[in-house]
Structure 1
């Protein structure tokens, strides 16, 4: 073998060794990436399982708190409320709707949500299921208006009692319900007429109210929210 051939052979051998090293590096990198993917998938699965467990636990705790706060006569309608709330696209508002029922009737009258008038009917003219369906539809409409006018949840709750125009009033006055704003609105709508209101929720305010809806409505509902 000539000197030139030996030199070429050494160069080829060197290139082969370098190629082998590069191949080993590539294979090591690929193996590491695959390992990371496998481990990542495993971690993601564990995280998802933990998340599901946490959600389930929170749901159970929420259910337990609801059962402590709400009367049995209201809880008997929970599945019906959930059905119509989800149908109306407001499933996340079920706790509020149940709290409203507790305030309105404690689940002890046919028109359990006192929603007949919101449908343009005479008071107490709906049966329990019809009352719940109408209440969910009405509340869903309030939610849509609240989202459009960017007001808070308590404004929606008070508007269930005062009517949709309260949403516009709050939107023009800071976008957030306060008791003072509820009082001012009731004063304006009642023409300043007042009445006695004997209820523990009103003790700190002298046990009175304006003769328009119930200016304490949010406070009443909040008592039954988990």
Structure 2
């Protein structure tokens, strides 16, 4: 049996499909988590750490505070539940891991981040990236620049409005500047959100 659909129904179906995709991607971007925490530890750390996950809400108040710290505004979809992975061995705190989802012209980019106890960057890798520039050589180039840097040092690689690389940033990233910019902005958000949204959790961990 052949069913004929009206033009209004087809238009409604197309709009509904687009809205469904937006909601689905928005939800995925809002709740950032590592796909495989054990594999992430093996990739980003040489030590044999255990971990526990601490889930919290990145609130509107956090977002307002982030606006004061960052030269750019985080997306509304990033105000939601997020997971911080706390690494430890016996009673010693070893660091943190976090995953972030970033919008790009080539689709959603998922980045796994490793953070030192002093809140400098330890390293990262792309969980998902469809950019033709996403390869091991480019990732290593970006990593060499940002590894071990603090929030202030990373921020100096951005322009004042955070929309492009600073002169220092352009000199530092020898290849794939667009991907480097996205990764750098993600790194800044990661460090800022860790300190703001998990401040009390981290303080409690430091007391033990």
Q: State TM-score, norm by structure 2.
A: 0.28
Which has the larger strand fraction?
2
Question: So what's the TM-score if we normalise by structure 1?
Answer: 0.27
- Structure showing greater radius of gyration is 1
Q: Whose helix proportion is higher, 1 or 2?
A: 1
